[in-house]
Amino acid sequence: MSIISEHALRRAKHAMRWVAVAAAAGLVVGCATATSGNGATRNDMATGAAGGPFNFGTTPTAADLAHDFSYPADGRGLPPGSGTYAQGKVVYETTCQACHGDHLQGGVGDRLIGGRGTLASGAPVKTVESYWPYATTFFDYVKRAMPFTAPGSLTDDQVYAVTAYVLAEANIVGKDATMNAQTLPQVKMPNRDGFVTRDPRPDVP
């Protein structure tokens, strides 16, 4: 190959490189000004305020957020409503008894009462009475996961009521107690202190 032809080849490669760069730049510009189905450019969409800086998604409604909840031990955010032992007995018999037994003794589902003091015995019986540290946690679990065949289908009043029923059957509250957002966090569960040991660090009160 002659010197002239090598030089020409070098110039051709250089020119092809610039063509590739120009094509890429055109693609970027084309994407930036492409229009959406409603005629708005991507630039417009990027600065749209309705769905955030990129106009993605929608603002959740109260109904959307109703399915996302988490109630801490102190009961912050608990829903309105209330329930009694008598009301909870009806809820239990119609939606819980088939799995947990007519006397909360368990069956297809877990046993719910009894077993206090057994967790460290070598033969633990894990129940509402022996295990759950906070009544609000029990409420949260029932609202989220029960009944097994239709989780989340109970109303807040029904969850308060069946919580009152189970707690009373476990002799944690009286059968005259009403459970609601104010009274539920005040319930002292038998295993309240069973999950945390004293911090051994001398600088921690």
Residues 74 and 146 in one domain: yes
For residue 203, the model assigns a pLDDT of 75
Residue 41: predicted pLDDT: 45
pLDDT, tens digit (0-9, with 9 covering 90-100), for 54-71? 778 888 887 776 666 788
Task: Output the domain CATH number for residue 108.
Answer: 1.10.760.10
The tokens for 5 are: 């032809």
Buried b (16+ CB within 10 A) or exposed e, 15-51: eeeeeeeeeeeeeeeeeeeeeeeeeeeeeebeeeeee
**41 and 66 part of one domain:** no
Check whether residue 105 and residue 177 sit in a common domain: yes
Q: What is the largest CA-CA distance in the chain?
A: 106
User: What is the mean pLDDT of the segment spanning 116-127?
Assistant: 93
- pLDDT at residue 188 is higher than 90: yes
Output the pLDDT for position 58. Answer: 83
Same domain membership, residue 126 and residue 100: yes
Q: What pLDDT shows up at residue 5? A: 57
Cβ contacts of residue 77 below 8 Å, gap of 6+?
69, 70, 71
Same domain, 119 and 84: yes
pLDDT given at position 147: 97
pLDDT of 159 higher than 90: yes
Q: How far apart are CA 38 and CA 15, in angstroms?
A: 40
If asked whether residues 66 and 42 sit together in one domain, one would say no
Q: How far apart are CA 68 and CA 63, in angstroms?
A: 10
Same domain, 131 and 36: no
Whole-structure pTM value: 0.67
What are the pLDDT digits (tens) for 70-98?
A: 888 999 999 999 999 999 999 999 999 99
Average the pLDDT over 43-59 and give the result: 61
Q: Are residues 88 and 120 in the same domain?
A: yes
Cβ neighbours of residue 19 closer than 8 Å, sequence gap 6 or more: none
Whether residue 99 sits in one domain with residue 66? yes
- The predicted pLDDT at position 16 comes to 60
How many structural domains is the chain composed of?
2
> Per the domain annotation, does 85 fall within a domain?
yes
Q: How far apart are CA 95 and CA 129, in angstroms?
A: 20
- For the segment 171-184, the average pLDDT, to the nearest whole number, is 98
DSSP 139-203: HHHHHHH-STTSTT-S-HHHHHHHHHHHHHHTTSS-TT-EEETTTGGG---TTTTSS-PPP--TT
| Nearest-angstrom CA–CA distance, 171 and 153 | 27
What integer pLDDT is reported at residue 55 of this predicted model? Answer: 78
Domain membership of residue 127 (yes or no) is yes
pLDDT classification of 141: cutoffs 50, 70, 90: very high
| % residues pLDDT > 70 (the chain) | 70
- Return the ∠ at Cα 137 (arms to 163 and 180), rounded to 5°: 45
Which residue bears the tokens 């000004």? 33
| Across 175-194, average pLDDT | 96
Indicate whether 53 pLDDT > 80: no
| Average pLDDT of the residues of the chain | 81
Structural domain including 98 reads 62-186
State whether 77 and 9 are in the same domain.
no
Domain co-membership, 151 together with 179: yes
Is 96 in contact with 147 (CB distance < 8 Å)? Answer: yes
